[in-house]
Structures are given as structure tokens and as C-alpha cells.
Amino acid sequence: PKQKTLAVIKPDAMEEHRDTILEEIRGRGFSVTQLKEAVLSREMAEEFYKEHKEKPFFKQLVEFMCRGPCMMLVLTKENAVEEWRAIMGPTDPDQAKMTSPDSLRARFASDMLHNSVHGSSNELHAEEKIRFIFGDICSDAELTAD
Ligand code: CMP
């Protein structure tokens, strides 16, 4: 069965690496079923990352995510959540370079915070974040179109 995940190209990767990342997404057989480019407001970034509210890097994370446009995509494919996470590689680019040198973070991330891409960690999160970013109307319209 097809699965959906939310992918985000973060502000640090938008200028130089966006097209390469989009090519990689399509080359790996994902369908991009929804897509939106936007500058997140502080409130949206805080809500998007609410699970990390207590982390010491939360404030920096929110500031970073608001500093320029992000591209948000719904990727549809079998096993999309896990596959997109594998393509991104680990959060820490130093670790990524050692364990998965072909991954996006190994190639494009500069540090743990500025790590170029985001992907939902599980199917439930994917559903919640897709609804948050694209809204119920979009999701329903897409379901009907399928
Ligand atoms: P992401 O996969 O989008 O989920 C949470 C984000 O918080 C993560 O990518 C990084 O951008 C950031 N992050 C996670 N761990 C750290 C850390 N130890 N220091 C700074 N930023 C972090």
C-alpha cells in the first residue's frame, strides 16, 4: 500500500540544493502529491516542532526555520516514511558522512541544526504534519482525486 510522508527542504538548502533534492526525490520514484513553498511564521515553526519544545536547541531551530523560504512536499510511495528518512540520512551530518555518504545530509548539511531536510518520523506524525501544513481541504481534495 502507498504511504505518505512530509518532506521539507529547509532554508539552508533552498538556494543551492533545492533542484538537486527535487531531482533526487523524483529519481527515487516518489510521487510529489502536494507541494508548497513558504516562509514559516514563528508561530507555525513552533507548532510544527512542538515535540522539541523542551530541547535546548528549540529557539535556534525555530529561528532557523523562519529565516527564509522552505519547500514542503507530500511524498507518496510504498514505504515512503522509512525510505525518505534513509535518503535524508542521520540528523548529524558527521555521522551521515560515515554511515551513509550518499545521503542528502551527508552531502548538504552543515551541522546538526542546519541539516537541509526534514522528514516525518512515522506514519502518525506524517498525517498530523501534512494536515497542519496543507490543511484538511487539500487532503480531502487529494483523496477524492485518487
Ligand atoms: P529534524 O529532522 O527536522 O527534526 C528536529 C530538528 O532539530 C532536526 O532536524 C535539526 O534541525 C534540529 N536538531 C536536532 N538535534 C539537534 C541538536 N543536537 N542541536 C541542534 N539542532 C538539532
The preferred substitution site among 9, 10, 57 for testing ligand 1, maximizing ligand atoms within 8 Å of CB, is 57
Cβ-proximal residues to 27 (8 Å cutoff; 6+ apart), any chain: none
- Alpha-carbon distance of 36 to 48, in angstroms, equals 15
- Alpha-carbon distance of 21 to 89, in angstroms, equals 13
Contact 115, 105 (CB under 8 A): yes
Distance 34 CA to ligand 1 centre (A): 24
Cell numbers for 52, please give them: 522539541
Cell numbers for 39, please give them: 516562509
pTM: 0.94
Tell me, using a 6 A CB cutoff, whether residue 110 lines ligand 1. Answer: no
In order of their start, the domains of the chain are 2-82+119-140 (3.30.70.141)
- Tell me what pLDDT residue 7 has: 98
- Atom of ligand 1 minimally distant from the CA of 49: 5
Evaluate whether ipTM surpasses 0.90: yes
Cell numbers for 125, please give them: 506524525
Q: Is 85 annotated as a binding residue?
A: yes
Per-residue model confidence as pLDDT tens digits over 93-114: 999 999 999 999 999 999 999 9
φ, ψ of residue 88 to 5 degrees: the values are -65, -40
Cβ-proximal residues to 50 (8 Å cutoff; 6+ apart), any chain: none
